[in-house]
Structure formats: structure tokens, C-alpha cells
Amino acid sequence: MTQDEARRQELGDFLRNRRARVAPSDVGLVATPRRRAPGLRREEVAQLAGISASWYTWLEQKRPIRISPRTLDNLARVLQLNPAERIQLFQLTLRQPVIEGTSQREHVSLATQRMLDQLDSMPAFIRGRRQNILAWNRAARAFFFDFEKVPPDERNLVWLFFTRPELRSLIGVDWRARAQDVLARFRLDYGRHAGDADFLQLVERLRAVSPEFARWWPRFDVLPSVEGRKRYNHSVAGLIIAEHFTFAVTDNPDLRITVFSPADHKSMARMRIAVAAHRDGSPVRSRRKNAVASRAG
């Protein structure tokens, strides 16, 4: 399967999934008892969007057809897509923003690594386009776990969320909702790079090792990255409330820096306890080797 074929397959599956979520009554239609499947029929979506039923059917059937932004706006309205889902529709259909066809390298500079290291009591790490963890600071090692001891092919935020029991323990009772949010944000990146071989391989690995990921992936949920406040149960320091913020790296928007800032005085004191305990028990080795290029498709 080519990258373009994989993108069209993702688009067709996304449209069918969202069509099934819209009840006839939601768009002013009368539901009949003879419906065999939930949601709208293809011809109903086409009629409400002002396009032919055959043309919309071809779109779901992954045929290589052209589509205008105005038509996509109409489909987004009929399918009642939220802003993140609308972005996904445009990415899958028009490849906006356009994705480079050639492989690029993700690189964390030494200057950026030094900036991370200076956030002494604020865990921070840098992720690439597939959520790979490319760099981190001492506080991130103390708060989450020692990234240096994680195999490089598992040093990925989504993989860690769904496979590492220590991360599940840190998050506690909120893990289910938080994991679904992580998956939905990953799905938005997946749509932007639909058909990328490394993305596809990561998804297949996750579906094989995590029953939750395999169950939630077909929902096609998407979410943008937003700031927020979360509770964590650290094994050494106890309850820590932290606010998280994500920023794009200016010279490479595919790289994102996420910083966790303790939200109150108690959380700040406990974060310092966690960092101090890690410093005393596990001296930090040089991380210069992490500030190097790693291949990305």
C-alpha cells in the first residue's frame, strides 16, 4: 500500500465513523424503523452537503478524487465535526499542511538541551512528530522514570503511556481518561502524516501489545494539544499537581517541548523532593548524546 492509498483509507474510515455518530434527528431528518445501521446514510450526507451520492460514496471507498475546501466545509457541517476533527478532515483530504515526501532528521540542539537542563524543578521533554521522546531534563527523569534506561525504540510517549506500569501508577485513577486523550492527540498527528511507514508500524505494535489501544484506536478520536492541570501520585514525593504547557520549536515545528510546572507551593516542594531523591540515588550522566539527530520518516 502506498502512502497515498493509506491516507485515502484513513479518510474513508474516518468519514464512515463520523457518519455513524450523527443521528437523523440531529440534522432535521425523520428516523425510520427500517434503518439497518446507526447514523446517517451516505445519500443523506451527500444531499445535506450538496454533492452527488455517487461522488460521496467514491470518497468513502478511497477513490482518488478531487475535492474543494468549500465541499469539505459542507461535509464538516453535516457531520458536525469539532475544530480538531475538521482539521483532520482537511489534512486527510487536501494534505494541508503539505507533508514532505522525503525523510527528514529530527535534531535537538545542545542549546535547547541546556535550556531543558536549566528547568531544575520543572520536568520537561521534547517530542518528535511521532511522539518519540528525543530529549529530557533531570526533573523529567525524577518525575517520570529514567528515559536513558528505556530502549530507544520504546522511547515514545504513546508507547510509554500504554505499556509502562510505573507511568500508569503515577497517573493513578485518571489513567483511562488521560490515555484516551494521549491517543486522540497522536491520532491528529497520524492524520497529518497518514501513510507514513513508521507511523503505521508504531500503530501495529501498539495494537498488538495494548488491549486498550486496540479497542480505542478504531474510534478515530482526535484532540489538539492544549495546556492543562493534572494530578500525579509520585512514589517518593506523594501528590503533585502540575500544569503542562507545550510549545513548538521555532526552527522545526515538528518538535514540541512539553513543560510540567508545579501548580502550588506544596507541589513545588514535593517536586523538589522527587528531584533531590533522584539526584542522591542516581547521578545524572551526560546527556549530550541525546542532543543528536535521530531518523524520522
Instruction: Give the residue among 254, 23, 9 at the shortest CA–CA distance from 129.
Output: 254
Per-residue model confidence (pLDDT) at position 204: 96
Q: Is the dihedral angle over the CA atoms 185, 246, 83, 67 positive or is it negative?
A: negative
Residue type at position 252: N
**For residues 100 and 231, which has the higher predicted lDDT (pLDDT)?**
231
Instruction: Give the residue among 292, 294, 293, 290 at the shortest CA–CA distance from 125.
Output: 290
pLDDT tens profile 146-171: 899 999 999 999 999 999 999 999 99
Helix, strand or coil for residue 235? coil
Confidence class for position 31, pLDDT limits 50, 70, 90: low
Q: For residue 226, is pLDDT > 90?
A: no
Per-residue model confidence (pLDDT) at position 36: 74
Q: How do the domains of the chain map onto residue ranges? A: 3-94, 104-296
Across the range 249-276, mean pLDDT stands at 90
Q: Which CATH class for the 104-296 domain? A: alpha beta
For residues 275 and 120, the answer to whether their CB atoms sit within 8 Å is yes
Confidence class for position 6, pLDDT limits 50, 70, 90: confident
Per-residue model confidence (pLDDT) at position 281: 55
* CATH number 3.40.50.2000 is the correct assignment for the domain at 3-94: no
For residues 169 and 233, the answer to whether their CB atoms sit within 8 Å is yes
